[in-house]
Amino acid sequence: MLQVSAPGAVFTAGAAGPVEVVPAKSIPELVQALAHQKPRERWTAAETLGKKGEAAAEAAPQLVAALSDRDVDVRCAAARALGQIGGAITAIAAQATPELLRLLTSDSDGGVRWGAAEALGNLGPVAACALPALLAALEDDEEDVRGGAAGALGKLAQRGLAAAPSVPGLVRLLADEEWQLTTKPTNKTTLQVATNQPQNNH
């Protein structure tokens, strides 16, 4: 059987075509799924909650708890979800920031550190305490983490935070050939704006 997502529902299809329509999970059901025994169910729930933005605010405590999940994909998805939700709700941002900072500085998985960096950049001024850790992450061994930290610092700089102390590290990253080849054009533009560097769209 094949499940195909559609707005508000999931269609379960067999060889003969759609045979069952499964309603999309409600936020309480997604919260419950964060405790599912299968990691895939947990990280899918976290990812879906993040896409709902501030409408999923009630899930914040469970998402914060999921930052300590044993599965790296769950931790990463929970971090990104909190960035998507907490960016609009200061209380959630304040609740999530210390745990995201912990992941950024101590998690052994590069993907999780990247997700934490991205989330901190989305939280705005509440995440100002994470600036030293984001600056340090510009020297991370993992290219994705360096890029995530740079993107976060760029976003914070655009909101009036971190511009001066972060500029040298961001400029170094803009000169990093590996990062230039692999990062999204929007990431480059964000850093160029934050550091007042000339933009090259070619």
Considering the chain, what is the average pLDDT of its residues? 80
**DSSP code of 108?**
S
Determine the Cα–Cα distance for residues 6 and 175; give it in Å rounded to an integer: 42
Q: pLDDT tens digit string along 40-81?
A: 999 999 999 999 999 999 999 999 999 999 999 999 999 999
pTM score of the predicted model: 0.75
Two tokens at 78? 């929970």
Assign 30 to helix, strand or coil: helix
In the chain, what are the domains?
27-195 (1.25.10.10)
**DSSP code of 71?**
S
Two tokens at 41? 């169910």
Determine the Cα–Cα distance for residues 78 and 68; give it in Å rounded to an integer: 9
Q: What pLDDT score does 135 carry? A: 86
Across the range 171-189, mean pLDDT stands at: 54
Two tokens at 11? 């269609």
Which of 54, 102, 100, 93 lies closest to 77, judged by CA? 100
